[in-house]
Structure 1
Amino acid sequence: MPGSAPSSMTFVFERNFCVGSAPSIQMYSALYAISVLPKSRPEDGSSVRCRPGVPAHCKARAYACAVSAVFQVTDRTASSESVSVAPHQRRSQTEMNTEDLSMRLPTPLLLALLGLAVAVLLGLGTWQVQRNQWKHGLVEERTASLAAPPLEAPGVLTMSAPALAWHRARLVGTWDHAHSMVLANRIRYGLKGEDLVTPLIPASGGPTILVDRGWYPETERDRVRAALDMEETANIEGLAVDATGRTARRTGQGTWTALAPESMAGWAGTPFRPWAVIQGTPTDDDSRPPSDGSLPVQRYYPFVNTTTHVQYALTWYGIAVALVAIAVARLIVAPRRARRSAPRNPE
Structure 2
Amino acid sequence: MTDDTTRSLAFPTLFALCGVAVLIGLGVWQLERLRWKEGLIATLDARLAASPVALPPPPRWPALAQANDEFRRVNFSADFIAGQEALVYATGSALRSDVKGLGYWVFAPARLAGGGIVLVNRGFVPADRKAPDSRPQSAVDGVVDVTGLMRWPERRGLFTPDDDARGNVWYARDPAAIAAAKGWGAVAPFYIDMEAPQLAGGLPRVAPIRTIRLTNNHLQYALTWFALAAGLAAVYLVWLFGRRRKSP
TM-score normalised by the chain length of structure 2: 0.79
> What does residue 96 of structure 2 align with?
none
Contact 1:183 1:258 in 2 (8 A): yes
Per-residue CA deviation, residues 154-196 of structure 1 (Å, 9 max, x unaligned), is: 5587351433312101021100134310012433654321110
Matches within 5 A, 1:211-290: 211-221=120-130, 222=132, 225-243=135-153, 249-251=162-164, 253-269=167-183, 270-280=185-195
Contact 1:150 1:170 in 2 (8 A): yes
Contact 1:156 1:164 in 2 (8 A): no
Per-residue CA deviation, residues 89-131 of structure 1 (Å, 9 max, x unaligned), is: xxxxxxxxxxxxx799721222112111110110000000000
Contact 1:172 1:202 in 2 (8 A): yes
CA distance in 1, matches of 2:59, 2:91: 29
- Structure 2 residue ranges without an equivalent (≥5): 94-98
Match of 1:326, as an amino acid? V
> What does residue 295 of structure 1 align with?
203
Change in CA separation of 1:108 and 1:154 when aligned onto 2, cut-off 3 Å:
closer
Change in CA separation of 1:144 and 1:272 when aligned onto 2, cut-off 3 Å:
same
Determine helix, strand or coil for the equivalent of 2:109: strand
Determine helix, strand or coil for the equivalent of 2:77: strand
Residue from 325, 342, 345 that aligns with 2:234: 325
Determine helix, strand or coil for the equivalent of 1:211: strand
> What does residue 49 of structure 1 align with?
none
Determine helix, strand or coil for the equivalent of 1:184: strand
**Higher CA-based Rg:** 1
Root mean square deviation, CA, Å:
2.9
Contact 2:57 2:114 in 1 (8 A): no
Matches within 5 A, 1:1-347: 106-153=8-55, 158-159=60-61, 160-162=64-66, 163-187=68-92, 190-206=100-116, 208-221=117-130, 222=132, 225-243=135-153, 249-251=162-164, 253-269=167-183, 270-280=185-195, 294-299=202-207, 300=209, 302-333=211-242, 335-336=244-245, 338=246
Change in CA separation of 1:146 and 1:234 when aligned onto 2, cut-off 3 Å:
same
Change in CA separation of 1:138 and 1:262 when aligned onto 2, cut-off 3 Å:
same
Change in CA separation of 1:245 and 1:271 when aligned onto 2, cut-off 3 Å:
farther
Determine helix, strand or coil for the equivalent of 1:174: strand
TM-score normalised by the chain length of structure 1: 0.58
> What does residue 80 of structure 1 align with?
none
Query: What's the offset of the Cα at 1:210?
Result: 0.6
Contact 2:152 2:189 in 1 (8 A): yes
Change in CA separation of 1:230 and 1:179 when aligned onto 2, cut-off 3 Å:
closer
CA distance in 2, matches of 1:156, 1:302: 28
Contact 1:161 1:243 in 2 (8 A): no
Determine helix, strand or coil for the equivalent of 2:91: strand
Paired residues, what number? 226
Determine helix, strand or coil for the equivalent of 2:170: coil
Determine helix, strand or coil for the equivalent of 1:325: helix
